[in-house]
Structure 1
C-alpha cells in the first residue's frame, strides 16, 4: 500500500492525534472557570472564519455566521426553516402576488441608538444590486421599497417570488453609517442585532460582545468568539485543554474520538450545503465538455465520500442536497445511476480525443482541510490519467475572489460549495445563473435554455411547474458536465458540557444558534 493511499493517511493521522492528545484526555471533564458557564462566554474554533462583517458583501458561510449575530432582518429563522418577526412588527401583509407590506417595531434600534427607518430597509435591499455585490442574488427580485409611513414599508417585487419569506430575512443595515465609510463598516459595523463587534481580524479572529441595549431577546452569552483553527487535531486539542468551548465543523476523521478525548458532545444535523467540483467554462481546457467528462473518470466520488466525508456527510448526486432533491421529487435514482467510478484509461482516451493531454489543470481550494483533500484526490486521479494537476490552496478572501474570476490562470477546477434553504432557487441561481457570474458563480456556463428555466422557476409560485423547470435545467447541466457533485456535510458541533447554549440550525450560516436551557 502506497504512501498516497487514503486509508494509510487516515490511520496515521488518527495515530498522531492519539499521541498528541494522550496527555490532555484527563482534562476532558475539567470544569472551566473562564468558559461559557462561568463567565457566559463562548469560544468557537472554526474552519470557516468570517472574512467581512458587512452583510452586503458577505459571500461565505463564515461571514454569514457573524453577520447573523450582528444584524437583524425584518424577519429571522426560527429553530427550523420557518421565519418569525424580528425588526418587523408582525407578519407581512400580501395585497397581491408582487407586494408585501411590513410594519416596523417602534423600539428597533441600531447600536448607535438610532431608530431603524424605512429608508434603512430600502437601502438594505437595494445596495446589493446597486453595488453588484455577492448578496445580489438574494434580493434582486425586489423592484423597489416604498415608504408608506414612518413605521411601514411596502416591498414591490418585479415578479412573484416563491422564496419571499427567505428574502425578507436579509439583514437591515444603517444607510448613512455604511455609506459614510464602507471599508470601515466592514470591519467595525453598526448593527441592530444582539451582538456588537468588539474586534475583528479577517480570517483569523472575530470577537462579538453582547449589546446591552438590545431591544429583542437577550442572548445567553456575554461574548462570542470565532477563532480560525485550520487543523482538526488542533481543534480537538483546544477543546480538550479548555481553550475552546466548541469546534465547528467536526472532522469526519475524528468524529468517533472527540467525545472520549474531550468530554464534549458531538451534535449533528443534516446540512443544506452542497460541495462540488466546479469547472471553468470560461477559459482553458475545461471549456470543452469532453475534457470535463474526462475529469469525471479521474475520481471515484462514491469512494472519496466514504473515505473522507462519512459519517458526517453523505453523497450528493446533484447540486441540490439529497433531502431537498427528494422533497421536490427529483429523479435522484436516475442521477445515482449516471455516476461513474474512476477509469484512468477512459479518461486518457477522452483527453486524447479532445486534444487536451498537455499542461497542468489547476485545482483551486479554500483553506478547509477536507475540501483540500478532495482536491488532492482528484489531482491524483488526473495524474494517473496522464494529466498534470496542481492543487492551490488560498486564504478565504483570495479564494472568494479567484473562484469567480473565470480566469484560467486561477483555476480549471474549483472545489466549491453552495449553502441554501429548502428551495432549489437558493442553489441553482447563485451557483449557475449568468446574472451572478463573477459574484457567486464561478462556472461561467452559458446555455439560454438553462438560464431561462432557472429565471422562470423563481418567477412562479406553481410548485409543479417549478419542479419541471429545475429538473430540465439540472438535466442539461449534468449532460454538459458543468460540475461534479460530491457531497453534503452535516452541520456539526462538538460542544463542551459548559457551553450548552450553542445549538445547531439546519442552515450553515445560522449555526451556532444561541439559546438557553438544556439541549
Structure 2
C-alpha cells in the first residue's frame, strides 16, 4: 500500500487587484496580484527591506563598490537555476537590465545610472555607472524593478507580447503553477531551488476586491496574510477580535505627497504651488491618523531616516488668507475644475485626497477627484499627464537615493515631470560621496530646496500594517529583515 501523503501546506494571501501580467521589469502595475507573483517567482541581485539599511544576497552572493562609487562588481551564486533547469548566468542579468534600459522599460526607473554592464565570466559581472552613485545598491534591491529574466526565453523577442509575461519562468523559491483570472493565482514551492527551501508547499493568491472581506478572511482564518495598503487605520476594527491572526505595525517607509503636474503652465509659477500648499489644513487629516504610528506631516522625509532627515525643512503652513490671495493672483481660482488623482490601490489616499479637495474648495478652487486603478494610472497619469494634482506615496528609506526616480529631472517614476536644477544638484552631490555623513548633509539640503521651491507638498506620514496568521513564522521582523514583506520564501509553520 502506498504511504499516505500529508495534505498540501498552503499559504493563502489576500490581494486586492487581479493580475495583468507578471513581467514587472517590462511594466509595472502597483499592488496587482502580478506584482506579488513577480517578487516570489523571480530573483534579483540583492534584496532590501525598509527595516534594514543593509542589502542581503539573492542571486549575488558577494559584491563590492569601488571608492569612486562608479563601479560595482557582483559574484553570482553558481548553483542558481531557472525553473526550466537552465543555469542562471551573468548573461541573463546583463541582458535583462541592458534591454530594459535600451527600451525605457519599467526597470529603467532604477537603472538610469548604468552606462554599461560587462560580463566577466558566467558568474561575474561589472556595472559601470555613468556618474557616481553611492546609493545604487539600494536602488537595485528595492521592490520589483530589477528582477532578472531568463535570456534564453526573452532574447530576440518583443517583450510586449512574449508569452512568458503570462507564464513566467523564474529562479525564485516558487514557480508559477496556475492562474484563474480574477480569482486566484497558485505558486508551488520549487524543489530544486538553489537557496533556502520554501517552508510551504503552495502560495495561493486570492483575489478579493472587497477590502473589508479581505480583512475578515485573514481575521477568521480563511487566509493567512494580506498585502500592505489593504489594511488601513479605518479597517483595524475588523481584525481586532481575531483569535488566529495578529497585527504587526510600524511607521511607514514614506510620506503621502501632493504633486503638481509641472507640464502645465499654471504650476510653473511658485506662487500657485505655494497657494495650494497654504490651503492645506493638516488638522483635517487627523481623523485619518493612528496616534503613535501615523500622522499629518509637513516634513519631506520620514524622521526615521535620521542620518539624512532635515527637521528645519517643512512645507508652507496653513494660511487660508494667503492661499486665496496667491491662487487668485495666479488665476487658479475661477477656472475649470482641477483634476486631483490618486491610485485606488493605496486605499488610504482616498481620504487624503478628499481632505485636500475640500481645503482647496474652501480657498475658491473647484476640484474634481478621480481614483484610478493601476492600469489607468499608468496610462492617464504616467503616460498622458492628464491631471493637475496627484496624491502618491512610495518608499523613502532606507536610502533617500531611491526617491530620485520620483523627484529628479527625467526620473523614470517622475509622473509630475518635476525638474528643479537645485534639487538635481543635491542628488548629484549626495550620490558622489561614499561617506554617509556627507551624503546626509546633501540630502538635508535637498529637503530645504524642496521646501523653499514648493516642488511638492508632504501631507501624511502613514503607517504600515501587517495582519498575519499566528500559524506561520518567517516574517521580515522575525528574521532580521533579511527579506522584504512581499517575499514569502522564508515563511514556514510556526510549530514543526
Q: For this structure pair, what is the TM-score category when the shorter chain's length is used for normalisation?
A: 0.7 to 0.9
CA shift for structure 1 position 88: 2.7
Alpha-carbon offset, residue 64 of structure 1: 4.9
1:287 has 2:259 as partner: no
Q: Match of 2:134?
A: 162
Q: 1:226 maps to which residue?
A: 205
Q: Structure 2 CA distance, aligned partners of 1:405 and 1:509?
A: 29
- Structure 2: how far apart are the matches of 1:293 and 1:104? 49
Asked whether 1:327 is paired with 2:307, we answer yes
> CA contact under 8 A between 1:107 and 1:115: conserved in structure 2?
yes
Higher share of residues assigned helix: 1
Q: Find the partner of 1:386 among 350, 364, 369.
A: 364
**Cα distance change of structure 1 residues 279 and 204 upon mapping to structure 2, 3 Å threshold:** farther
Deviates more, 1:278-287 or 1:364-373: 278-287
- Contact 2:63-2:72 at 8 Å conserved across structures: no
More off after superposition, 182-191 vs 79-88: 79-88
1:109 is aligned to 81
1:227–1:490 Cα change, 3 Å? farther
Match of 2:191 among 192, 212, 221: 212
Query: CA–CA distance in 1 between the matches of 2:481 and 2:391?
Result: 22
**SS of residue matched to 2:148:** coil
Secondary structure of 2:128's counterpart equals strand
Alpha carbons of structure 1 residues 498 and 171: separation in structure 2 relative to 1, 3 Å? same
Q: CA RMSD in A?
A: 3.1
Counterpart CA distance in 1 for 2:300 and 2:29 is 18
The answer on whether the counterparts of 1:318 and 1:335 sit within 8 Å (CA) in structure 2 is yes
| Counterpart among 211, 229, 232 of residue 251 in structure 1 | 232
Q: CA offsets, 1:208-263, max 9 Å, x none?
A: 22222212111112222334444542222223454322223322013255131564
Aligned equivalent of 1:176, options 135, 147, 152: 152
Match of 2:323 among 323, 328, 347: 347
1:149 and 2:130 matched: no
- 1:110–1:319 Cα change, 3 Å: farther
Distance 1:240 1:154 in 2: 47
- Mapped to 1, the partners of 2:364 and 2:181 lie a distance apart of 39
- Cα distance in 1 for partners of 2:12, 2:378 equals 25
Q: 1:511 to 1:309 in 2, by over 3 A?
A: farther
In structure 2, relative to structure 1, the CA distance for the partners of 1:418 and 1:103 (3 Å cut) is same
Per-residue deviation, 1:276: 0.8
1:404 equivalent in structure 2: 382
TM-superposed deviation, 1:369: 2.7
Given that 1:419 and 1:508 are in contact with CA atoms closer than 8 Å, whether structure 2 keeps it comes out as no
Contact 1:64 1:510 (8 Å CA) reproduced: no
1:308 aligns with 2:288: yes
Task: Measure how far apart 1:288 and its partner are.
Answer: 2.8
Match in the other structure for 1:27 = none
TM-score normalised per structure 1:
0.81
Q: Which of residues 333, 336, 341 in structure 2 aligns to 1:364? A: 341
Q: Which residue of 1 aligns with 2:174?
A: 195
Show the counterpart of 1:451: 424
Aligned to 1:69: 40
Alpha-carbon shift at residue 373 of structure 1 (Å): 1.4
Q: Deviations over 1:1-25 (max 9, x none)?
A: xxxxxxxxxxxxxxxxxxxxxxxxx
Alpha-carbon offset, residue 46 of structure 1? 3.3
* C-alpha contact 2:115 2:130 (8 A) present in aligned 1: yes
Tell me if the contact between 1:360 and 1:390 (Cα under 8 Å) persists in the aligned partners. yes
Cα displacement (A) at 1:162 = 1.2
- Contact 2:52 2:481 (C-alpha < 8 Å) held by counterparts: yes
Post-superposition CA distance 1:56-78 (Å, at most 9, x none): 13545535543221111233347
Give the 3 Å change call, closer, same or farther, for CA 331–129 of structure 1 in structure 2. Answer: same
Residues 506 and 292 of structure 1, relative CA distance in 2, 3 Å threshold: farther
Whether the 8 Å CA contact 2:472–2:494 is kept in 1: the answer is no
Larger CA deviation: 140-149 vs 94-103: 94-103
Q: Which residue of 35, 41, 54 maps to 2:10?
A: 41
Q: Is the aligned partner of 1:273 residue 2:254?
A: yes
Q: Which moved more, 1:241-250 or 1:508-517?
A: 508-517
Partner of 2:98: 126
Q: In the aligned structure 1, how far is the partner of 2:118 from the partner of 2:154?
A: 20
How far apart are 1:200 and its partner, in Å?
4.6
Which residue in 1 is equivalent to 2:278? 297
Q: Which runs of 5+ in 2 are unaligned?
A: 1-5
Instruction: Report how many aligned residue pairs link the two structures.
Output: 472
In 2, the alpha carbon distance for the partners of 1:507 and 1:395 equals 31
